[in-house]
Amino acid sequence: MRMDLTRWTVRATGDLVEVPAELVDTLRAGVSATVPGSVHTDLLAAGLIPDPYLDRNEDLVQWIGLTDWRYETEFDRPAAAGAAALAFDGLDTVAKIELNGRVLGETENMHRSYRFPTGELRSEGNELSVTFASAVRYARARAAAHPLPRTNDGEPSNFIRKMACNFGWDWGPSLVTAGLWRPARLEITTGRLASVRPVVTVEGTEGVVTVHTEVEGEGTVRIRVAGIEATGDTARVPSPQLWWPHTLGEQPLYPLEVTLEAADGTVLDTWTREIGFRTVALDTTDGAFILSVNGTPLFVRGANWIPDDCFPHRVDAQRYARRIEQAKDVNIDLLRVWGGGIFESDEFYAECDREGVLVWQDFLFACMPYPEDVLAEEVEAEARENVVRLAPHPSLVLWCGNNENYLGWFHWDWQERLAGQPWGATFYEKLLPAVVGELDPTRPYVPGSPWALSPERDALDPDYGCQHVWDMWNERDYLGYRDTVPRFVSEFGWQAPPTFATLTEAVHDEPLAADSPGVLHHQKAFDGNGKLARGLAPHFAEPETFDDWHFLNQVNQARAIRLAVEHYRSHAPRCMGAIVWQLNDCWPVTSWAAVDGAGRPKPLWYTLREVYADELLTIQPRPEGLTVFALGFTPETVDVRRMSVTGEELASAAVAPGTALGPEFAAGDPAREFLVADAGDKRAFWFFAEDKDIAYPQAEFTQSVTGFDGGYEVTVIADTLMRDVCLFPDRLAADATVDFALVTLLPGESATFTVETEARLQPGDLTSAPVLHWIE
């Protein structure tokens, strides 16, 4: 018997000097709380704090993370036989659990679940409390008492096992949470499956499932896979269909059911999952980093995943499904769950299983040295629990020890500042691979990202392993992506503001400007706007209006990632993967995301759909000259034209893909000429000059708008060259979406945008600036 505990009261406790004076009495008395939940969302629901996602309200709620909080509830004991226990799937973070005045236990790890036997219960009125100490104060106290030097900015989140980005990141606010962030319940059992760990393999033509179980109480374990009863702990499925990533095949899933039965046949406990049969391998021969599924190497087309909300309990199955659909819709076949966040809920991985999206899972260490002596016991416990929990999912294909800690060791002065002190390497090189080897031997493990395949080799050696490429955004122009060919790129990215609707829903500056207070508050990167300006300068004239700033930075983000991905893909098989930073955001912010904090796609999202397509046509510079590559398909020839910006064809030829273009395709006047290549429905452009230097003609076009039930079709017919035409209907209606963006039209060509919205829009507004925008 299981009884969910969802209705609680939360009250501030202890020293309330940080609490605003007008709230002290109310918070001492307590307000209604919801589980799963957090203090922030409970106070927001009670109308006691402003929404921290809006304007600069984040600054007004910092006291929450500096305060202790007590959650309280009462429950009656159900009339069921058996031993009672309280189960907590997630406690955030430093907690004391008390029942009827007795301390059941204390915790200090957000990334674990807990179960406490209750002993005898009252028939009515059992009083349960969970008191959370301030995570900020706890981490500060630990850091102050430890010799490990500070090598990170801000709070010492490396001293507590909590979602690191709660303390702020270069795309996220500082909102240090507390609460029961995953479900809590009372369980009464006479026998239970304490742990179920299936190991799924493919042997020849058979699928083999070996299930390891731990049982509390008495009972017989029975295992069925696809209706087949196991012999002992192993079931063999003849000729199963193989599970593939969606870019390579289908995703057949098979039911796995494990039951614990009493001697009389009564079912005491049941554990069910859907599993898939597939093999996965990582080839690192001669420095390579090649992921294979079912023996088929793949060029990974990926994106990094961060927590989709600063308050993760708000991300439900429907929201996971929407994000994963957005990833799949742009041909992303792998999501890397980044190490500064959380082990996501089961719904995330199950949705990836169903949709064929691979998962690279970081262990939860990011960008900081970690005190091994303080954290070792908790790290092992959380690793063991989560490896067992996630191992049944066929979508999970790689474990990774940390994010950017080897980068810190080699490039952030750690070696000098740490002076020989342990910093986490034992976790990444010994503890975690041992846990994975013991509990999940079917999957590869790497110690970190970036990782040059040896702890003795510079983590950023492009000839080995997986790389992070950030010097373009931080220091150089994105044309520099072409200077090296890494074996695999697990992080690279370029910033842009969120969609206009998302920005203006969150920021209410008057006037709105790139440097207005609210816009700047929603830019968390160090010198972020300065880097945006320096990134624009080589390519575009300085924007004169906010609308131009917003549009050009979104275009520049898409251009940067297009250039990088096409470069990396054109160098396969030396380079065998690109994982863009990042798919999603956790709040409304200027960031590297393709989908903003309100779930709206930025122009980058549409660009990913093109550059991650199975078939890609691209023009690339090579030492022997410009070369047309057909990636993923094999046309006999590609039609290439050199054209003037006024529409004249200056040269043309049908060329074999992979061969350098002849001298007739060299620019006579770079400011007034460009190349266009066509193969079937695939097209590629090459402009010889940057936009600020191109003599674009004054755009001339005709347009028409046709309404239909649920939206509009907007057709643009170009009479002149029009580059990167976009339609931004979210400027007119918050629910409005459009089906594509950034289309370049030659004279005489047309594009029809499909806008979906429930709003009634004026046709003229849909074809006027800044809703309709292009490069001028």
User: Catalytic amino acids?
Assistant: 404
> Can you tell me whether residue 747 is helix, strand or coil?
coil
Rounded to an integer, what distance in angstroms lies between the CA atom of residue 378 and that of residue 190? 29
Counting every residue written for the chain, the total comes to: 776
Exposed/middle/buried for residue 613 (C-beta within 10 Å: 0-12, 13-18, 19+): middle
Rounded to an integer, what distance in angstroms lies between the CA atom of residue 180 and that of residue 88? 8
Can you state the angle between helices 346-355 and 317-329, rounded to 10 degrees?
Answer: 40
Backbone phi, psi, residue 458, to 5°: -50, 125
- Count Cβ atoms below 10 Å from residue 758 Cβ, excluding itself: 9
CA angle 168, 172, 173 (to 5 degrees): 60
C-alpha distances in Å from residue 99, one per residue of 129, 552, 662? 7, 58, 81
Rounded to an integer, what distance in angstroms lies between the CA atom of residue 394 and that of residue 440? 12
Joined tokens for residue 662: 């002849």
Q: Which of 42, 69, 303, 306 is nearest to 165 (CA)?
A: 306
**In sequence order, which residues have a C-beta less than 8 Å from that of residue 167 and are 6 or more positions away?**
136, 154, 155, 157, 174, 176
How many CA atoms lie less than 13 Å away from 288 in the CB half-sphere? 17
Q: Are 563 and 685 in contact (CB under 8 A)?
A: no
Chain-centroid distance of CA 612 in Å reads 17
Number of alpha helices (DSSP H) and beta strands (DSSP E) in the chain: 17, 43
C-alpha distances in Å from residue 281, one per residue of 210, 278, 295, 537, 574? 20, 10, 8, 43, 17
Rounded to an integer, what distance in angstroms lies between the CA atom of residue 606 and that of residue 557? 12
DSSP annotation of 636 reads: S
Q: Are 244 and 356 in contact (CB under 8 A)?
A: yes
How many CA atoms lie less than 13 Å away from 360 in the CB half-sphere? 33
- Count Cβ atoms below 10 Å from residue 150 Cβ, excluding itself: 12
Rounded to an integer, what distance in angstroms lies between the CA atom of residue 775 and that of residue 697? 11
